[in-house]
Chains A and B, each alone.
Chain A
Amino acid sequence: MTREDILEELKKVLAHYTPDKETLNSIGPETDFVNDLKINSANMVDIIIEAEERYDIEIDMDSAEKIHNIGSCVDVILEKINEKK
């Protein structure tokens, strides 16, 4: 599983939560969920739950707090996938 694979999967999840489809098409590690993608911060928990289901991982609350932008989100997902191995 590469960072690119996860980024592509993440885009599909984020499509349900961002009103800004243009920004979604050009996201990178620095893209901020709330400021750039205009995602309601309350929905961050839903994005985390969907990521958990897709990768069969568990993102505990301490790890979730590290997620600020696309880059840190991919980091946490990768970390949890690797922990599983």
Chain B
Amino acid sequence: MLPFIIRRLFFLPVVFFGVTIIIVLLMQLLTPYQRAAAFARSEQQARNLDAIIQQYGLDDPWYMQYGRWLGQVAQGNLGYSRVTAEPVLTTIRKRFPPTLELALFAIIPVIGAGIWFGTAAALNRDKFIDQLTRVLSIVGWSLPTFVFGIWLLVIFYGGLGEFLKDFAGGLFRVEPGRLSTPYIIELASGNFRSYTGLMTIDALLNGRLDIFWNAILHLILPVTTLAVVASAQIMRVMRSSLLDTLSQDYVRTARAKGLEESVVNIKHARRNALIPVLTLAGFVLTGLISGVVITETIFNYPGLGQWAASAAVQLDYAAVLGFAVFLSMVVVIANLLVDVMYGIIDPRIRYD
């Protein structure tokens, strides 16, 4: 397995150069003048675009600009993000943990619901639960995240309608963001140590149940938005791959051996059915990362997605590059982990 992992790690530089060259070339489709104008926020600042072009060397050939950027990277500096007004690396360091937290919390219901519904559907083929799963998964898959997210926001945070006004004691009525204002002030005052950047974990490590709870409340709506669409996909794959394994020889053999049906189903079939699900989990992670762009924008959640959205629209050169490089690395590494997990689930798989 080790040579396999090493070989896959060699792919990282390929992704690095590939992704950055693609983006740098894309940016070259704009004239230096346009790229300079992207720096201007108001009419006032547009008064000397030529100066900006000169200052940032925007009219140099692309390989020179790319070379400059690489030079910076070699010194451990990914450039400066204009959108967040701080170095790209700082932004990534600050914004990756919130996104990771969101994705981790989302992946629990996604995998859970996905596997449960998928299994139930496959074992009861064409029964009610199967039809329900299929309808749920198709509807969930057809929902536009952005409409769904805003509706959640307005209904639960806005407390629309008499019934929802005091739903669950107003439990869901926390403002968008990561924490409530008093905690933001407290964190700014420096009495709270950040260990991991994951708010829930840090809160526990600081022994602050109230902050932990506040962070959880802030996660509910965005996590729901993210999870609904993603679990629909997992359900489908779980169902069809379980159907597939159930019809295979060794399951039949196990049945013929007289093993009890539930043991067959769970011990043998489900474990093998998990392999495609694992593949999909890799995809879901990528999907979640795309999903966070919209979810974070709606729920004002200070993660990578929100940053990426404004950076892309405002042509924040360094931010787009840094973001794309970082996320593609994350994706590659996540896929590598998935592949390694195959081997753990099914020792027969060989890496060559």
Question: Real complex partners, A and B?
Answer: no
